[in-house]
Amino acid sequence: MIGLLAESAVVLCGKDVNSYIGGDIAIEARPVLTTKDARFSAIATNTTRANTVAFIGTYDGRLLKAVIENRTAGFLYRTLEIGGGKPVLQDLELDGTGDHVYVLTPSSAFDWIQIAGAVWQVPNLIQRGTSLQSKIFRRSLTVG
């Protein structure tokens, strides 16, 4: 019978769903970057040359740029104040080329141009009324 279990069947929690992510061995990890004064609210990563660059939004309105050198080492490259104390929302996105990072706060949207993974131009405030579609963000948004 489909959909019915025999009385003697035992279903272990988690064994009947998520079979691709389930397992008996725990994932272990160690941070490659820690901060004493920031709680992370969003992250987007891009690989450039031999390193991974992480753009990290914080709950107090900063955008951190970090270089992850390997599994055990990383360093903070730059910090930008963008949110006026308001959190960076989780919709932190890189475009398909990795040249632009789009940052949302509760009241603003910004576009940074990343040149060769090292230099940022001054942020461009995206104009009010601009509609940002789901290609960039997970949901449709109109900057108010």
Q: Is residue 79 part of a domain?
A: yes
Q: Is residue 73 part of a domain?
A: yes
User: 10 or 95: whose pLDDT is higher?
Assistant: 95
Q: Is residue 26 part of a domain?
A: no
Q: Is residue 124 part of a domain?
A: yes
- The model's pLDDT over 6-57, given as tens digits with 9 standing for 90+, comes to 444 555 555 555 556 667 787 788 888 888 888 999 999 888 777 888 999 9
Of these ranges, 58-67, 96-105, 127-136, the one predicted with the greatest mean pLDDT is 58-67
Q: Is residue 28 part of a domain?
A: no
In the structure, what pLDDT confidence band is assigned to residue 59 with cuts at 50, 70 and 90?
A: very high
The pLDDT, as a whole number, for residue 22 is 65
User: 138 or 93: whose pLDDT is higher?
Assistant: 93
Q: Is the pLDDT of residue 126 over 60?
A: no
CB of 55 within 8 A of CB of 91? Answer: no
Q: Is residue 68 part of a domain?
A: yes
| Domain count within the chain | 1
For residue 75, what are its two tokens? 């360093």
Q: Is residue 8 part of a domain?
A: no
The dihedral through the CA atoms of 12, 14, 17, 23 has a sign that is negative
In the structure, what pLDDT confidence band is assigned to residue 84 with cuts at 50, 70 and 90?
A: confident
pTM > 0.85: yes or no: no
Cα distances from 34 to residues 37, 43, 65, in angstroms, run 9, 14, 13
Range of the domain at 117: 40-142
Q: Is residue 25 part of a domain?
A: no
Q: Which residues pair with 131 in a beta bridge?
A: 142
Query: Residue 59 and residue 42: Cα distance in Å, rounded?
Result: 9
